Copies of this chain bind each other. A is one copy, B any other.
C-alpha cells in the first residue's frame, strides 16, 4: 500500500503516509490514507463540504479522523464565520484569510503577530479578498 512521498512534519523524504501513521501509532486504514493523500494534494485548507464528493466514507469517519490527526499533530484546524471547520496539514505557523464575499480561504504567510505572554494557536482574518475587492473597485 505504498502511496506517495509526502513532506510534512519533518518526515521529508522517502516517507510515505503508511509510515507516518505507524510512527504516530495510528492504525493504517484506507479512509486515513485517502484523507492524508487528499490533504497533501490540497494547496489550501479544506472543509468536509468541499471534499465529500471525492471521498467514499461517512462524515462521522471524516470528522473522527480529523480529530485523530489533530491530536497527533498531523494537521491544523480552524473555523470560518460560516461555522464550517477547515483542515490542513501541519506546517510552519501562518494565518488564514476567509473572504466574506466569495468564501474563499487563503493561507497568509506574510504576517507575523506577537503577543507577549500569550500562546498563539490559529489566526483567522475575515474580510474581502484581493479579487473581490478588485471586482467591486
Contact residues of A with B, CB < 8 Å? 78-79, 81, 83, 97, 100, 108, 110-111, 113-115, 117-130, 133-134
Question: What are 25 A-B contacts defined by CB distance under 8 Å?
Answer: A78-B81, A78-B126, A83-B83, A108-B115, A111-B113, A113-B125, A115-B125, A117-B133, A117-B134, A118-B127, A118-B129, A119-B127, A119-B128, A120-B126, A120-B127, A121-B125, A121-B126, A121-B128, A122-B125, A122-B126, A122-B127, A123-B125, A123-B126, A124-B125, A124-B126
A124 — which chain B residues lie within 8 A by C-beta? 123-126
Q: Which partner residue on chain B sits nearest A83 by CB separation?
A: B83
Interface pair B111/A133, CB less than 8 Å apart: no
